[in-house]
Amino acid sequence: MALERHLGCRPVETGPLDVVGVGNALVDVISLESDEFIGRHGLAKGSMELVDPERAVTLYGAMGTTIEQSGGSAANTLAALASLGGRGGFVGRVCDDQLGAVFAHDIKTVGIEFPIPPATSGQPTGRCLIVVTPDGERTMSTFLGAAGELDADDIDEALVARAEVTYLEGYLFDQAAAGEAFLRAADVAHRHDRKVALTLSDSFCVERFLGGFRELVAGTVDLLFGNESELCLLYETKDFEEALGRARVDCAMVAVTRGAAGSSVVTDSMRVDVPAVPVAKVVDTTGAGDFFAAGFLYGLTHGHDLETCARLGSLASSEVISHVGARPEASLAQMAVPILG
């Protein structure tokens, strides 16, 4: 299939980068379903669950008409960063198949470097089955496929060294080899005096790998992203302020989203609380955290103060939840003009 092989071969830029993301290269398969669907198929609403091929087939078979669009948490963040005018790279694995070509096209066409070639053997490109309910909440069942085959050898030292921030997707902790890729990327970043950011990604994910996450956060992470419930789970407390206080001890910077309540950012010397940007209707929350991180990282790597970083995060987040799919539909740079001038 020569057509597939040549898709998305737009040349990419070289030079310094704002962010390199390490994450799952996935194509989202999205359908709108009732709450009853969630119950009938034993899904945990709002969560991300890894599924095997059999479960993926059953669920997909039950889903109504779907839309396919590139996804993956860190990849969404990079795409949103690009829409703000940022420069980035993405490290993740796809297979040399049609969905892999879709993923590669969508990340490269917005100007993000994506240097790992598609695998010519092994599992097909991973996909995330996303059920969006009428309240805009998304429930995800991920068949990792090729994405799950990422390992430490995929971390390109030169690429990581070029980026001000190396951004790690917590979901990758589901795979042991990917965990090693994390550590290698973080090690390379630190050796080059770069910052390491981690997003906690998902409550269940935090619960499953509590020890590993705690160690990573305390020992390696400079900038921690997560939402309120993920942070509380990480520190095994119901008290958000306590969790935030403890995270502040572990990491130089912590940025936490709190849904409609906005976001809180702390460093050892500062705290900033920023309200959410209201939207007319929350259509699909997929990518809300990814886009917050994108706005925040764009601000941070462009010399803005913490409040501006958080406001850019809220703004980007408001864009992605107002439509189906986790890639920007509007120019985030244009939307950010009132903030950045």
Q: Is 99 near a second copy (CB under 8 A)?
A: yes
Q: Applying CB under 8 A, which part among 134-142, 177-185, 300-308, 323-331 lies near a second copy?
A: 323-331
For the segment 7-36, give every residue that binds a second copy (CB under 8 A).
7-10, 32
Q: Is 106 near a second copy (CB under 8 A)?
A: yes
> How many CB atoms neighbour CB 339 within 10 A?
15
Q: How far is the CB of 328 from a second copy (least distance, A)?
A: 7
Q: Is 86 near a second copy (CB under 8 A)?
A: no
Q: Is 66 near a second copy (CB under 8 A)?
A: yes
What are the structure tokens assigned to 76, written together? 């969404």
Which helix (H) or strand (E) is 72 found in, with range? none
Give bridge partners of residue 31 from the DSSP assignment: 131
Query: Is the CB of 118 or the CB of 262 nearer to a second copy?
Result: 118
> How many CB atoms neighbour CB 320 within 10 A?
30
What's the CA gap between 233 and 239, in Å, rounded?
A: 10
On whether the CB atoms of residues 254 and 244 are closer than 8 A, the answer is: yes
Q: Is 60 near a second copy (CB under 8 A)?
A: yes
Q: Applying CB under 8 A, which part among 104-112, 133-141, 205-213, 228-236 lies near a second copy?
A: 104-112
Q: Is 1 near a second copy (CB under 8 A)?
A: yes
Q: How far is the CB of 109 from a second copy (least distance, A)?
A: 6
Q: How far is the CB of 22 from a second copy (least distance, A)?
A: 21
Give bridge partners of residue 210 from the DSSP assignment: none
Using a 10 angstrom Cβ sphere, with 0-12 exposed, 13-18 middle and 19 or more buried, the burial of residue 321 is: buried
Give bridge partners of residue 297 from the DSSP assignment: none
Q: Applying CB under 8 A, which part among 1-9, 178-186, 215-223, 260-268 lies near a second copy?
A: 1-9
Q: How far is the CB of 143 from a second copy (least distance, A)?
A: 7
Inter-CA distances, 161 with 18, 77, 215, Å = 11, 19, 23
Which of 42, 65, 268, 303 is in the footprint of a second copy by CB under 8 A?
A: 65
Which of 75, 79, 197, 251 is in the footprint of a second copy by CB under 8 A?
A: 79
Which of 154, 170, 327, 335 is in the footprint of a second copy by CB under 8 A?
A: 327
Query: Is the CB of 121 or the CB of 269 nearer to a second copy?
Result: 121
What's the CA gap between 11 and 257, in Å, rounded?
A: 35
Inter-CA distances, 274 with 81, 93, 177, 265, 307, Å = 20, 35, 37, 8, 7
Which of 41, 105, 302, 304 is in the footprint of a second copy by CB under 8 A?
A: 105
Q: Is 257 near a second copy (CB under 8 A)?
A: no
DSSP string across 192-260: TT-EEEEE---HHHHHHTHHHHHHHHHHT-SEEEEEHHHHHHHTT-S-HHHHHHHHHHH-SEEEEE-GG
Q: How far is the CB of 80 from a second copy (least distance, A)?
A: 11
Q: How far is the CB of 217 from a second copy (least distance, A)?
A: 32
Q: Is 136 near a second copy (CB under 8 A)?
A: no
Nearest to 23 by CA among 163, 162, 126, 124: 126
Q: Is 119 near a second copy (CB under 8 A)?
A: no
Q: Is 69 near a second copy (CB under 8 A)?
A: yes
Give bridge partners of residue 17 from the DSSP assignment: 163
Q: Is 98 near a second copy (CB under 8 A)?
A: yes
192-214 CB burial, b ≥16 within 10 A, e <16 = eebbbbbbbbbbbbbeebeeebb
Query: Is the CB of 103 or the CB of 235 nearer to a second copy?
Result: 103
Q: Which residues bind a second copy (CB under 8 A)?
A: 1-4, 6-10, 32, 53, 56-57, 60-61, 63-70, 79, 97-99, 102, 105-106, 109-110, 124-125, 143, 145, 325, 327-329
